[in-house]
Structure 1
Amino acid sequence: MADLKKSYVTINNRQIRVLPERAGYYPADDMPLYLQKLEERNKPKERESRKDLVQGMVVVALEGEFAAKRVVFLKQVDGFRALCCGPEPINKVPFFLIDERFLLKTSTVLDLKVDCENVDINSVFECNKDLEITSNKTSNMVKIEEEVLKSVKKVKFMRCYLETLFNINENDGKVPTTF
């Protein structure tokens, strides 16, 4: 019995076996079209930055050191990251960077008129790394934090809202079955 050499086509790290013609199978006419559709369907999609985040919006961090904490969104940074601040005197969250995907927006927006362009991103704590948190606040960060604290004081119960952790009870969103 003749040993037929098996040949494979690799598409997006997947190997698809191609049968030789002498095996008794005839190639389908639409096979190249199928492979093209398969390659198109499995190619990674480009990621877009979020447009729904506004400066001063209270968001919930869903990942990292500050998971379930309510923080104030300040600005978007390159690499699909977001600069957020606690502020530290209220909920002990310093300036940190987090991926935009892990921010849950709320309907609460603080009235902030702060210029965050002068913040040195290299000195800000990266949320997904296991580093020790050190407070290397620059003068710009101190000014921004003071403005955030002023806007928090303007809204009644905002300090208490930022201090509490985000929590979803098991009964939230469900219709009660017993009355």
Structure 2
Amino acid sequence: MAIAAKTTAPATKVAEKKTKAVKTFSYYPADDVKSRLPSSKGNRKVSKLRSSITPGTVLILLAGRFRGKRVVFLKQLTSGLLLVTGPFKLNGVPMRRVNQAYVIATSTKVDVSKVNVSNIDDKFFAKEASKTEKSAEGFAKQDAKVQNTLPAAKVSAQKDVDTAVNAAINAVPQLAAYLKTRFSLSKGDAPHLFKF
């Protein structure tokens, strides 16, 4: 009988350990409780500028409306975005902000030391709030096509920057033709082997 008692004692200890490990819940919430995600509004870091991108570097845009176009880099804005221009009269790209993740930096440079872009910042690109009328007359006016015109300050700033950049481009032979051409890949091209 002593032998039988010895064999049953370890079995009960193992059974006790198994019951302690399993948790049982008496209630489940009917709806999922939504928790707030941490906000990253106040602690955004400005992205570090790549070493290959310096003022005057010719960049190739990879995304957006002007993808494939070559543009001239002017400066990095406080938001971390890059300020670039075509210039507009040369290849149709106006002054705009671009994320550096969507550009390829080339080895071609333009002398932009005489270009003044100190007054251009992120506020320059802010859109004006449109005032809509809630009356029936305001609704009828919305049906008519309204042309969006740029403010005179933006137009004059574009002209000032473009004249200075065009003067630097015209000083280098064949640079204007290079900026006009679009970048594209054809079948069999290996972009990882390109030297820009």
* TM-score of the superposed pair, with normalisation by structure 2: 0.57
Query: Higher strand fraction: Structure 1 or Structure 2?
Result: 1
Distance 1:55 1:139 in 2: 22
Given the alignment, which residue of 156, 160, 182 partners 1:143?
A: 160
Alignment RMSD (CA, Å): 2.8
Q: Secondary structure at the match of 2:187?
A: coil
The one-letter amino acid paired with 1:118 is N
Tell me the CA shift for residue 140 of structure 1: 3.7
After the TM superposition, which residues 115-126 of structure 1 pair with which residues of structure 2 at under 5 Å, given as runs?
Answer: 115-124=116-125
Q: Deviations over 1:88-130 (max 9, x none)?
A: 111011111111111110000011112311125333389xxxx
Q: Secondary structure at the match of 2:65?
A: helix
Distance 2:20 2:169 in 1: 73
Q: Secondary structure at the match of 1:123?
A: helix
Tell me the CA shift for residue 21 of structure 1: 5.4
| 1:81 equivalent in structure 2 | 81
The one-letter amino acid paired with 1:121 is D
Rate the CA distance shift 1:139–1:133 in 2: closer, same or farther, 3 A: same
Distance 2:148 2:72 in 1: 18
After the TM superposition, which residues 28-67 of structure 1 pair with which residues of structure 2 at under 5 Å, given as runs?
Answer: 48-52=47-51, 53-67=53-67
- Identical counterparts, % of pairs: 28
Structure 1 gaps of 5+ residues are 1-19, 24-45, 127-131, 175-179
Q: Deviations over 1:10-58 (max 9, x none)?
A: xxxxxxxxxx9514xxxxxxxxxxxxxxxxxxxxxx7732232111110
1:160 aligns to 2:177 (yes or no): yes
Query: Higher helix fraction: Structure 1 or Structure 2?
Result: 2
The one-letter amino acid paired with 2:118 is E
The one-letter amino acid paired with 2:109 is V
Q: Secondary structure at the match of 2:68?
A: coil
Distance 2:119 2:173 in 1: 30
The one-letter amino acid paired with 1:139 is S
Equivalences, count: 129
Rate the CA distance shift 1:160–1:134 in 2: closer, same or farther, 3 A: farther
Structure of larger gyration radius: 2
